Structure formats: C-alpha cells, structure tokens
Amino acid sequence: MGFADQRFTVNLSMLFTELPLLERPAAAAAAGFTAVELWWPWAESPTPRQSEPDALGRAIEDAGVRLTGLNFYAGRLPGPDRGALSVPGEESERFRANVDVAAGFAGALGCTALNALYGNRVEGTDPAEQDALALENLALAARAADRIGAVLLVEALNGPESPLYPLQSAPAAVAVADKVNEATGLGNARFLMDLYHLSMNGEDLPSVIERYATRTGHVQIADNPGRGAPGTGSLPLEDLLDRLSGAGYDGWVGLEYKPGASPSAEAFEWLPAGARAAR
C-alpha cells in the first residue's frame, strides 16, 4: 500500500494559485492529475454572474479533470472568515443564497461532495443561537446536496489558526453531522477528516482514524508543521493513509497544502507521476 494506492484530488484554491483561476484545471491536468477540488471561488459573491461559473465549468471540462469537491460560500478564504452559515445576519443570508447556486454548479460537473464550513463565534451573540442557526442552514445544505446525489461535509479546523471556529476536534464535527442527519433523515452528512487540522489540535490521529473512518466522506492532507507537501514536516502521512484504507475508507484524498516558494507544478515530487491519475 502507500501513496500510490490512494485517489488524490488537487485543491485549486491552495495549489496553482499563481495562475488565474481558469488556467488552474489545465495546470493540474498537465501535472498528471485527473481530479480537482475548490473552495467557493468567488469569495466576495455567493451568487456570481452566471457567466463566471459557466466559464469555470468549461475550463474544468476542457482540462479533462473531474470536480470532486466544492465548498459552499464561506466568506473570505483565505482570510479572517471561517464559514458563514452560523453567523447571524447578512453572512448567513449570503450562505442561504449560495446553497442552490453552489449545488447547481457542482451537480452539473458531477461533483459528489459539498463542504459547509461552520463559521466563527460572534462576540456578543449567544452560542446556542448560532448553533440553532447553523443546524437550520446545514439541513438546507444537506437537502441541496442530496438533490444532486452528493454528501454534505462537516469539517473541524484547528484552534491555533482558527480560534473562533467552534468545531476544533473530530468528535465535535461528527456530532454536528449526526445532528444534521437526525434533522433531515437523509443520512448524507459526513465528516471531513483533515489530517493537518486535526494534528494541529493535538489529536491522536490513529485513534481518530479507527473511530471515524467509516463516518468520513472526504480526507484532506498537508504536512505539519508548515502546511506544506508530504515530507516537508513530520506527519507520517503515508502510514496514516494506509490506516485509513485499512479501516475501510476508499474515497478521495484532497491535496490541500501550500506549494512553498516554487511553482505549484514542482510541489508533487513526493508522488510518482504514475500515481497521480485517479483510477
């Protein structure tokens, strides 16, 4: 087993960002990959002009890559925001306006996973109020995902980098996914297991894998420290992915790391060229 036995997808919001958005799918294909994922590409607009998603959809199709994952609108990423759906007022309204737009774009490209970042705590707002709003909006997102045959992902982020984000452990994220499934009866809310974020939180990664692999809808990786490519830090990522496979996970593994000072095309030396195309 090992890296060569995984199905990798390249996050085009973290890699190839030195290129214009519409050139990134082709760059990923030129590097040997057949699958890509994205944060919501229009951070300032949950409802961009139709010409913009149409152009991106054509770029993805023309490159011959598959879109495997997409974030719903989550505010400014990268930046201070960590989601919108639990933020009362304008931000949660923007999230709701985005739900069908994002699901429509994803569905047209055969995307099967939609990630809904929870959102930061807001000073002066009752956390229980935010959690009730979050459940309402996550249920809305789960229903939209179900209409296109996709899963809804709930992600834990790390405390050092996202101190106001309330889901800072695997159990916290899984508990929210369970509440969404209970509220909708659809069973399509799943855990997004980001090994970088969990490691930054100090979690026991083998234990997390053993406990939650069967509840996981998507995996993302970056090394720690530094959030760079595998081999730039100290995480035993190859071993951890082997553990995931052994525990029954056979889904996509998103490469969501920083390429460093070199062009993104040079950030994949750790992965043999023949292992980049998904089988």
- List active site positions: 155, 256
The residues, any chain, with a CB within 8 Å of residue 134's CB and separated by 6 or more, are 85, 86, 118, 119, 176
In a domain, 37, yes or no: yes
In a domain, 275, yes or no: no
In a domain, 278, yes or no: no
In a domain, 118, yes or no: yes
In a domain, 146, yes or no: yes
In a domain, 196, yes or no: yes
In a domain, 273, yes or no: no
**Residue 187's domain spans which residues?**
3-265
The residues, any chain, with a CB within 8 Å of residue 30's CB and separated by 6 or more, are 265
In a domain, 68, yes or no: yes
pLDDT at 1: 65
Nearest in space to 73 (alpha carbons), one of 54, 55, 94: 94
Q: What's the pLDDT tens digit per position in 197-244? A: 999 999 999 999 999 999 999 999 999 999 999 999 999 999 999 999
233, 199 contact by CB (below 8 A): no
Q: What is the number of structural domains in the chain?
A: 1
Report in angstroms the alpha-carbon separations of 153 from 5, 64, 239, 265, 272: 23, 25, 24, 28, 29
Q: What is the CATH number of the domain that holds 24?
A: 3.20.20.150
The pTM assigned to this predicted structure is: 0.97
75, 83 contact by CB (below 8 A): yes
Q: What's the pLDDT tens digit per position in 92-144? A: 999 999 999 999 999 999 999 999 999 999 999 999 999 999 999 999 999 99
CA–CA dist 120, 166 (Å, integer): 7
Token pair for 101? 């737009």
